[in-house]
A and B are shown apart, each in its own frame.
Chain A
Amino acid sequence: MSDSEFKPVLLGRVGRPDSQTLASYRADGGYEALAKALKMANTEVIDVVKASGLRGRGGAGFPTGLKWTFLPKDVNGPIYLCINGDESEPGTFNNRVLIEEDPHQVLEGIVISSFATRSTTAYFYLRYEYGRCYRVLKQAIDEMYANNLLGKNILGSGYDLDIYLHRGACAYICGEETGLIESLEGKRAWPRIKPPFPAIEGAFRRPTVVNNVETMACIPHIMKRGPEWFQTMGIPKDANNPRDAGSYGPKLYCISGHVNKPGLVELPMGITARELIDKHAGGVWKGRSAKAVIPGGISMGFMSSAELDTPLDFNGPGRVGCLGLGTAAVVVIDDHTSMVDVLYNACRFFAHESCGQCTPCREGTAWSTKILERIREGRGKLSDIDTLLEISSSIGTIPGTTICGLADGAAWPIKTAINKFRGEFEEYIKSGRRSESPVLAGAH
């Protein structure tokens, strides 16, 4: 399917009058997928999701159906589904739009997924700052209870489910799945060591699945239109790489930064950054060109202007040294912007958000911020550049020195900024210049 033929799926109802109401959702065929799923065996639902090739939209791109099969077969007592709506990755706002504009699409996905995973309780962990989302969701959930879409014996199927809406604790780390679980339990969102993985011991030490909001939104469509339909979109598996799971389905790209038309667009997975900027975001602002592009939230690092033809699927950004697709939040940085300032801003964010458990992350993020602060004050040394690189290569789960991926996310902007823009850093330090410009938008 080409981009021009593509009709929005997840955003299909956005902008319609009363798109948040149950009545309008039902009028558009809502909850038919649920009715269909409830007539199947839960394992059959998992098989459909598996066959679709759906991969998690929360950042790591883990195959959703496969994750569900990690739950133990024989479980005495509850299994929980946690919905990750903490959406805090800078530049990311697709969960917000999905919830605010079409809550029932997400909620239908949650009921189907809960059924598939044998959960009778789902926790919706919502970023605290999303007040409107909270109100919209609350209303939608009330409507569901009133219409036998939640509670006991849903649609006469014998299946029971309760959804609890939980407002988050205002920290980026609450989005890391085990940080989320700890926070849900009322504790500091300190990510847990693994194993045990949440599928074995998650919320309240019970088997648990954590899935992103956008992942949930895909589920009703897959149930209704079939896994083959889902695979008509996106980039197929690399036949030469047995470990590649492909990048199928529609994807929400959040475009922000120095473009003429920032916003949320839905496209088949795999569009290039250049097309996204030029065709869908009105090009770089003020007639300038892009110096760097963040492919999927600041944790993924930077693509240089030479790398803009990289497809934004699960594999593309990795091929140009980025951490991955992340949240597909594309942030464009124009050629008038100093990479020193941009990197400083990124480092400051991670220093602020590091939960502080692991020494390498806690101290490494703060130290890199201090170094960049000093460079921006005109007191940098050339050796700082290598110190920054050394810090970035020694923090994170990839070298194995931290508990969670926040530190990898802190490392990648440093690595890619310095490897791809080293000349600019050297020139800046040698000039002894001080940064007058304010840093980019605040860390939250």
Chain B
Amino acid sequence: MNRGADFTYEPGDGKAIIRFSGRLTLARMGDLPQRLASLGGYDHEGDAHDDEKIASVSVIDLNEVERVDTVGAWIIHRIKRDYGARIEGGKPDVVKLLNEIEKADQKVQIHPDTNNTFTEMLATAGHATRAAGASVIGMVGFFGAMMVGIGGIIRNPRRFRLNAVVQRFEVVGINALAIIGLMSFLIGIVIAQQGATQLEQFGMEVFTINLVGRSSMRELGVLMTAIMVAGRSGSAFAAQLGTMKLTEEIDAMRTIGVSPIEALVLPRVLATTIMMPLLGFYAGVMAVIGGMIFVWAGLDIPPITYLQRIREVVPMTDVMIGLIKAPVFGFIIGLTGCYQGMQVEANAEEVGLRTTSAVVQGIFMVIVLDAIFAVFFTGLGWK
């Protein structure tokens, strides 16, 4: 009992026999398929085995077979089909299984069509370009849909979902305080330290304060916060909405008459738009504090002097610039996150890809906008 699968082959003109024995099951198959193949006929790599190829099989003897599962039955069936052989012996359930398998013999394609030719590559590039274009147009459309949603809420303020918005405030804003604070504090130290090393060479270390104060209030506070919010919240929005698309939750919402834009997108975009200026300002302050610690410890300038100097050298316009840019960045991050999430259609992998796109596109657009803002504000004379 419990023998592995085995076979013997007795050649003979018109009465060649293959005798199977033991358990023809997947677990006990061992190298039987390879051995059959090496006898020829089943060599799928197309190597030449012609000299030892099985010329014919007219009888398949199953008398010695103990058990057969569908894989064993398939192997028997394959020989029967290819050589037109006759089955001899075999328990009734084996015969029954063979019949079942015979009915199921059908060529099925395993993988979807792909051909990796040069033209295919060009086509892929073309598709990607078109997709990028479609993404820009789609985003404009999405922006429009959101404006319509806002219009609807203004006309009918009772539809405004205060709870959802407040909840998003907490997730996007409050929960990010610790990490953004720590990050900005450290960046403040780094700027002060690097600045001091350079300015020391001219004996102007005191200008480190100008450097820290102006760069963090005007640029770095908001920019670093935007990157952090894109990584934390933009990605989360895309993943949440994407998964909801997959499980048809969003379709269900629509059929109930709840607009996904109102219920899901608006609260999120509103949260990033409103939280960004608060977080950005907070980040700027934390960076200034970081700088203060370094300047105190490294340059022996006491905090009180430091703060006084900050008040003198950081113009109000720097703070204004930060506060004007931040909500725009927040809006862009929220919008890309939600847009990418809503584009998910097929599978779990797409959720991942869309989440990546949300972060990458979000940060990229923020940086492009930041450059435009820089030129614009300088043009205004806010130097």
- Whether A associates with B in a native complex is no
The interface of chain B, by Cβ under 8 A from chain A, is: none
The interface of chain A, by Cβ under 8 A from chain B, is: none
